[in-house]
Amino acid sequence: MISAMKFESFCIDAAEQWMYAGDISGQISVVGIDEFTVVGRIQAHAGCIHAIKAHPTLPYIATLSSDRTVGVWRTAPDGGSPVEVCKIQLRDLRPSNDAYVVPWVQSISQALGFHDVRRRLVTRTANGGVVEIDFEDDGTTRVASCVRLHGNADVFSVRYAQGSDLVLSGSIDGELMVSREGEAIRRWQFGTSGIHWMEHVTGSVYLIASDMLYVARVDISGERDAHIGKSFTRDDLEHVTYNRASGRAFIASFDRRIYEIDPETCGLVRVAFQAPFKCRWIRVLERAPTIGLIQSRDGTLIKADIDTGAQLAMIRETPPALWTAAQADDGAILIVGEGRMMTRITTPGADPISRVATFAIDMLDLEIPAAGYTKRMAAQPGGRVVLGRTSGEVYVLEDGKPRLLADLRSAVRDLAVVPDRPEVFCACESGNVIKLDLDTGDVLAAFTTGGQPVWALAHNPARGLLAVGARKGLLALLSDDDLSEVSVSEDSARPKRMKWLDADTLLFNATETVQVLDRATHTVTQRVAHVGNTIEDFIWDRKHGYLVLVSYTSNLILCQLDTGEVLHEVADQMDYSKGLIWLDPAHNPSGYPLDFITFGRSGAAHLFRIHDEKILALGPVPALAALARMR
């Protein structure tokens, strides 16, 4: 099962009549903004379109794809299909100041922009340089400049300064630069995280959106110091837009909200829209300043009233994402995510030739409110299953029946159950860790980071400890009794997963690495070096000494468990992968002992096998793929 119809980016034409949306399979869709329906599609790339931009004054759009090409397309005033003008290979462009060949990097960069009046665009090379390209309507092109401006850091965003030839570029590590034809003029440093967009306000003033959780206001002339606003979000800030008709500014966040901000102070005004999923691209129409167009990362295009917060229309062609899995006492795999349905997968047998498991699928309607989705699930021995929702609710399933345990008023990012007591630990986006009684829902203990979102938990019943990982790096060991601090450090970052390998060894990710905490010595060492992007999940097999990782690049990496040496790497699904789980050989002895499944935003599960120290792709889990098509 491949979920190919997922919108990843969009732009609108200067007249604000047409939206051009790029999807994960390389198509451009033309959407009429008033009716909010798709009126045409063309195949543009052999990879995801991460950025698409409309020329401010000429009838062109440009597309940047992970197939390492950039395309220019002529648009029609009546919304007809865009016509290709040129396609430019980026993989062979070399920055002129590189002293040696720098290899390309897999990137989800949004670095793409048009000059205001010329047939010129700016983007990134495949290896992270900044390149300006002139094009003609007959398809001829010329590289105007190609320079590495941000050292070893990837380029996240680029644009031309309003009404000039100056280029603004933002890097993955927080550097903003102004340059002209490859010559750096001035630069600023905003923390250490990616700069996603620079939005023109007036004159030489721009609003800067970054993963540092704040908005900055910068005068690129250098005449005034940059102003940094207060942090107000709990996850990455993505695209900021300024509406000249209303003088209002809005920004999209990965915490599933659209915020209105004060363009002078960069501070929070209000939450303008609550989206079902994290958001990236946003535009507010100047011809109708209460109408916002939003791209949600589940592949949805949304038209919303940003004054009332009402959703007016949406376009979505993707199945519900699968976010979390757990194994029941009988070996069944439970998977859940968006929507109300839980999938129960059993393996009653195996093909005698291939030893590939045969799968049986049951669907359970949880009959819970549709707001939010289930981010994490944990199964307790004896049959109870706990669900943590992004809407803040915690549910307990007993005999397939859901019971609302608590509403924590904050998105639940992770759960950990106590195996022999009716207790569950909940990690909240608010920065709180809450210990609940599974029978009564009473709060038994609490811990707070002071606002730093908690992303991962791991319970150690042998030592009476709870490991806690927070977004900005906090790593804490707490007493599992009263959640008092045992030790606290800053050894993590974006910890999507943490798990106890044994009573004294904690594995956790720090962004794109795997780290090991030795509880006895309170020392942290690196086990697996950088794998390209944030690690979403990992599992291991101690008997055979394997560690399997899945990254935000949707790659599977096979490592040696005790050393972290990378043995093999393969691609997983077209869309983002979110989790891994083994098939339990104890419940299917005729099956192969090292088969596992992946799942994520595609809404389907894929089967893989470790053999000859390689990861073999065995295809989608058939029944679940069929269900994904029906959802």
Could you read off the pLDDT of 306-317 as tens digits, one per residue? Answer: 999 999 999 999
What H or E segment, with its residue span, contains residue 206?
Answer: strand 205-210
Q: Give the per-residue pLDDT at 623.
A: 56
CA–CA gap between residue 554 and residue 51 (Å, rounded): 19
pLDDT, tens digit, for every residue of 267-278? 999 999 999 889
DSSP code, position 624: H
Does 631 score more than 70 pLDDT?
no
pTM more than 0.75: yes
Q: Give the per-residue pLDDT at 2.
A: 58
Q: What phi and psi, each to the nearest 5 degrees, are found at residue 13? A: -75, 165
Structure tokens at 122: 């700016």
Least confident of 223-227, 599-603, 624-628: 624-628
Q: Give the per-residue pLDDT at 1.
A: 45
pLDDT band at 630 (very low <50, low <70, confident <90, very high): very low
Sheet holding 535-541, edge to edge: 535-541, 546-551, 555-560, 566-571
Nearest to 372 by CA among 333, 416, 321, 406: 321
Amino acid at 576: Y
Q: If phi over 0 gives left and psi between -120 and 50 gives alpha, with beta otherwise, what is residue 191?
A: left
Q: What phi and psi, each to the nearest 5 degrees, are found at residue 158? A: -145, 155
Does 625 score more than 80 pLDDT?
no
Does 400 score more than 90 pLDDT?
no
pLDDT band at 628 (very low <50, low <70, confident <90, very high): low
Does 92 score more than 60 pLDDT?
yes
Residues sharing a CB contact under 8 Å with residue 592, sequence separation 6 or more, in sequence order: 350, 355, 356, 585, 609, 611
Nearest to 518 by CA among 505, 508, 528: 505
| Burial class of residue 483 in the structure, from the number of CB atoms within 10 Å of its CB (0-12 exposed, 13-18 middle, 19+ buried) | buried
Does 120 score more than 50 pLDDT?
yes
Q: Give the per-residue pLDDT at 624.
A: 56
pLDDT band at 451 (very low <50, low <70, confident <90, very high): confident
Using alpha carbons, list the distances in angstroms from residue 187 to 23, 162, 184, 216, 237. 33, 17, 8, 14, 21
Q: Are 126 and 141 in contact, with CB atoms under 8 Å apart?
A: no
Q: Which domains does the chain have, with CATH numbers?
A: 7-189 (2.130.10.10)
pLDDT band at 399 (very low <50, low <70, confident <90, very high): confident
- The helix/strand/coil state of 628 is helix
| Averaged confidence pLDDT in the chain | 94
Using alpha carbons, list the distances in angstroms from residue 71 to 89, 317, 523. 9, 24, 49
pLDDT, tens digit, for every residue of 253-268? 999 999 999 999 999 9
